[in-house]
């Protein structure tokens, strides 16, 4: 029951709305009917494949029929994973990539959003320029950057050689175990920062100008206005950007597949690339399923911890 009180010609009136059980039941059925397509898609493309992967990870299933029949082998694939140096290196590369890309890309996106939020002539052109890498397919971006990283005729080496008067370069960006992963990190940050920039820009446009005007009257500097008005107002936006960037960073695959194929010396090997290689190139579906299950559980634990931290911060605020 809901009671609503209002005044009409100086007389207080009361409206009482009663939610009958039949009405609630009808609303529940309607909600389930609208949710059913999404739930069916999640069940079909997420839940069922996960449990199939769990089952296949306990077998020696191959992509093509082999001389040996499919057999249940228990946790042998998981024991093999713990002894697989390539898999452990791929996990390490994934975490290094996430720990570097997430803060750098988030900070760069915020800086770009602040720049294109200014009321200057031609600012729409710069918004388009900054966002254009996002709408470009990653395969095309990776191929273009492979030319930029070329040690003989690449623009990056030529630029470093020019500004250093010949002291720097040329570098074997994609053939060096030290430089290959940083090269992919630079490419990924450049390609993805425009997406987070647009999200931050929407958040900046939603901040009331009266807050800045009041702070300016009180004598707050530009840095103080940014620190005490802009950042707190963008807090929820920042949480969304960090979470989405983390998920995208864990899915690193295309750049590696196009540029380095996991090399040199597994320096750019990632879990997703190793999974695909084991499942489709080496035809070891059971072993690849074990990789996918372990990787899913790692990301699940990481996401739960991230949500717990965010919830704790909201309770404090």
Q: pLDDT confidence of 112, banded at 50, 70, 90?
A: very high
Three-class HEC string of 128-170: HHHHHHHHCCHHHHHHHHHHHCCCCCCHHHHHHHHHCCCCCCC
Distance CA 315, CA 317 (A): 5
Whether residue 1 contacts residue 16, with contact meaning beta carbons closer than 8 Å, is answered with yes
Distance CA 259, CA 262 (A): 8
Whether residue 192 contacts residue 247, with contact meaning beta carbons closer than 8 Å, is answered with no
Local structure of 228: helix, strand or coil: helix
pLDDT digits (tens, 9 = 90+) for 10-24: 555 555 555 555 566
Average pLDDT, the chain: 86
Q: Return the half-sphere exposure (C-beta side, CA atoms, 13 A cut-off) of residue 19.
A: 8
Task: Pick 233 or 312 by higher pLDDT.
Answer: 233
pLDDT of amino acid 182: 94
- pLDDT greater than 60 at residue 142: yes
**Angle of helix 285-316 relative to helix 48-57, nearest 10 degrees?**
130
Domain ranges of the chain: 2-57, 85-316
pLDDT of amino acid 311: 63
Q: For 59, which DSSP code? A: B
What tokens does 46 get?
Answer: 């997420």
Residue with tokens 């299950």: 293
Enumerate long-range contacts of 106-112, CB under 8 Å, 24 or more apart.
Answer: 106/196, 106/238, 106/241, 106/242, 106/245, 108/189, 108/193, 109/193, 109/194, 109/195, 109/196, 109/197, 109/199, 109/200, 109/241, 110/196, 110/197, 110/200, 110/234, 110/238, 112/193, 112/194, 112/197, 112/200
Whether residue 1 contacts residue 18, with contact meaning beta carbons closer than 8 Å, is answered with yes
The domain defined by 85-316 folds into MetI-like fold (1.10.3720)
Partners of residue 59 on adjacent β-strands: 72
Residue with tokens 């988030």: 106
pLDDT of amino acid 78: 93
Whether residue 184 contacts residue 256, with contact meaning beta carbons closer than 8 Å, is answered with yes
Distances 64 to 52, 69, 167, 282, 289 between C-alpha atoms, Å:
17, 11, 53, 10, 15
Whether residue 267 contacts residue 180, with contact meaning beta carbons closer than 8 Å, is answered with yes
Q: What is the pTM of this model?
A: 0.83
pLDDT digits (tens, 9 = 90+) for 34-66: 999 999 999 999 889 989 999 999 998 888 876
């Amino acid at each position: 029951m809901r009671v609503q009180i209002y005044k009409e010609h100086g007389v207080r009136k009361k409206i009482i709305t009663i939610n009958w059980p039949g009405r609630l039941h009808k609303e529940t059925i309607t909600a389930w009917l609208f949710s059913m397509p999404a739930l069916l898609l999640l069940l079909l493309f997420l839940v069922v494949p996960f449990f199939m992967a769990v089952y296949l990870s306990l077998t020696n299933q191959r992509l093509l029929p082999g001389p040996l029949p499919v057999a249940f082998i228990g946790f042998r694939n998981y024991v093999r994973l713990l002894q697989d140096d390539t898999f452990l290196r791929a996990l390490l590369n994934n975490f290094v990539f996430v720990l570097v890309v997430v803060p750098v890309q988030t900070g760069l996106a915020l800086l770009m959003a602040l720049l294109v939020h200014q009321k200057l002539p031609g600012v729409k052109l710069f918004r388009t320029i900054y966002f254009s890498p996002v709408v470009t397919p990653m395969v095309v971006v990776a191929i273009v950057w492979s030319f930029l990283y070329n040690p003989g005729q690449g623009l990056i080496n030529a630029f470093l050689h020019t500004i250093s008067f010949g002291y720097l370069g040329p570098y074997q960006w994609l053939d060096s175990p030290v430089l290959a992963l940083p090269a992919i990190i630079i490419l990924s940050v450049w390609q993805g920062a425009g997406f987070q920039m647009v999200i931050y820009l929407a958040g900046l446009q939603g901040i009331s100008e009266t807050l800045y005007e009041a702070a300016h009257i009180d004598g707050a500097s530009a840095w103080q206005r940014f620190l005490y008005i802009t950042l707190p107002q963008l807090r929820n936006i920042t949480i969304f950007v960090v979470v989405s960037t983390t998920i995208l960073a864990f899915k690193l695959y295309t750049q590696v597949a196009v540029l380095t194929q996991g090399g040199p010396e597994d320096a750019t090997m990632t879990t997703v690339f190793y999974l695909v290689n084991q499942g489709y190139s080496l035809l070891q579906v059971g072993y690849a399923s074990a990789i996918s299950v372990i990787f899913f559980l790692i990301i699940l634990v990481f996401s739960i911890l991230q949500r717990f931290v965010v919830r704790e911060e909201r309770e404090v605020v």
